[in-house]
Homo-oligomer: A and B are copies of this chain.
Amino acid sequence: MEWLKSLATAGIIIGVSIGVYGVVKGVIARLIEKRMSVGNAPQPRVDTLRTLVTSLIGYLIFFIALVAVLQEFQVDATGIIASAGILGLAIGFGAQGLVSDVVTGFFVLLENQVNVGEYVTVNNFSGVVEETGLRVIKLRGFNGDLHFIPNREISSLTNHSRGNMQALVDLTIAYKENVDEVIRVLQEGCDRIGDKISGIIEGPNVLGVQSVGTSDMVIRVLAKTKNGEQWKVERELRKELKKALDEAGINLP
């Protein structure tokens, strides 16, 4: 009689567990897919995240059900729980960094902060993203270095590959030159070469006098460029504006 009741309860527990797991799994899948579709995340990433979350929840439900069933059959679960608790503490302390890596990695993926192939800066390391894992992010630096950065170390992440960029050139002019004249010459140069340099979306334009030093002044020129073209545009602007100043006989100090 006792046995029968216990068996029945166990059955109910297992049934409820499976049901809860099914529902939660479905909800998670829908939530992640909805979330990710906003950012146009690639399908493999969506799958990675869904698998991670559902298996985590699966383990949890399995553990609770196991304990409940054991208790139903008078098996004292204290040993199991205590062991799990000690293990949990060990994870909590020693592997804190690991859990922290995975949690941060999960959200970096979920929030679509980086995609493979984008040029980003993490802390002081810049490079093209080669892989975004749950524990580390791999960047290929400009000079060929391969940087491994644990996700938890990402205290800020700058993505250089989203949207248009600015090309900014500062020119140092001798103090004795006439300011209006210099700005006029530079603006003319900007107008003339703006179309010749590919990759420029807006400008270049002379912003004005950026600073007045003891023997020189700095004039700033700005242009909006296509993503990835900003350095080339800056180099071109420097070359062309120097020539424009040379032609107009304006000296640098």
Task: Point out residues on A near B: beta carbons under 8 Å.
Answer: 60, 63-64, 67-68, 71, 76-100, 102-104, 107, 111, 113, 121, 123, 125, 133, 135-136, 140-150, 152-160, 162-166, 168-169, 171-172, 175, 179-180, 183, 207-217, 227, 230, 232, 235-236, 238-239, 242-243, 252-253
- Do A64 and B80 touch across chains, with their CB atoms under 8 A apart? yes
Partner of A148, one of B82, B156, B164: B156
Residues of B within 8 A of A150 (CB): 104, 154-156
Residues of B within 8 A of A152 (CB): 97
Known: A136-B111, A145-B160, A209-B239. A81 touches B84 (CB 8 A): no
Residues of B within 8 A of A104 (CB): 97-98, 150
- Do B213 and A144 touch across chains, with their CB atoms under 8 A apart? no
- Min Cβ gap A20→B in Å is 12
- Min Cβ gap A52→B in Å is 14
- Do B96 and A94 touch across chains, with their CB atoms under 8 A apart? yes
- Do B67 and A79 touch across chains, with their CB atoms under 8 A apart? yes
A184–B121 alpha-carbon span in the complex (Å):
34
Partner of A172, one of B78, B90, B155, B212: B212
Residues of B within 8 A of A125 (CB): 156, 158
Q: Which chain B residue has the least Cβ–Cβ distance from A251?
A: B175
- Min Cβ gap A16→B in Å is 12
Residues of B within 8 A of A133 (CB): 111
Residues of B within 8 A of A238 (CB): 208-209, 211-212, 217
From A102, A148, A164, residue with most partner B Cβ within 10 Å: A148
- Do A157 and B147 touch across chains, with their CB atoms under 8 A apart? yes
Q: Which chain B residue has the least Cβ–Cβ distance from A127?
A: B158
- Min Cβ gap A193→B in Å is 13
A79–B80 alpha-carbon span in the complex (Å):
10
Residues of B within 8 A of A76 (CB): 71
A212–B218 alpha-carbon span in the complex (Å):
11
Ranked 10 nearest A-B pairs via Cβ: A94-B99, A208-B235, A144-B165, A92-B93, A67-B79, A209-B238, A143-B166, A146-B162, A146-B159, A148-B157
Known: A92-B90, A135-B107. A83 touches B64 (CB 8 A): yes
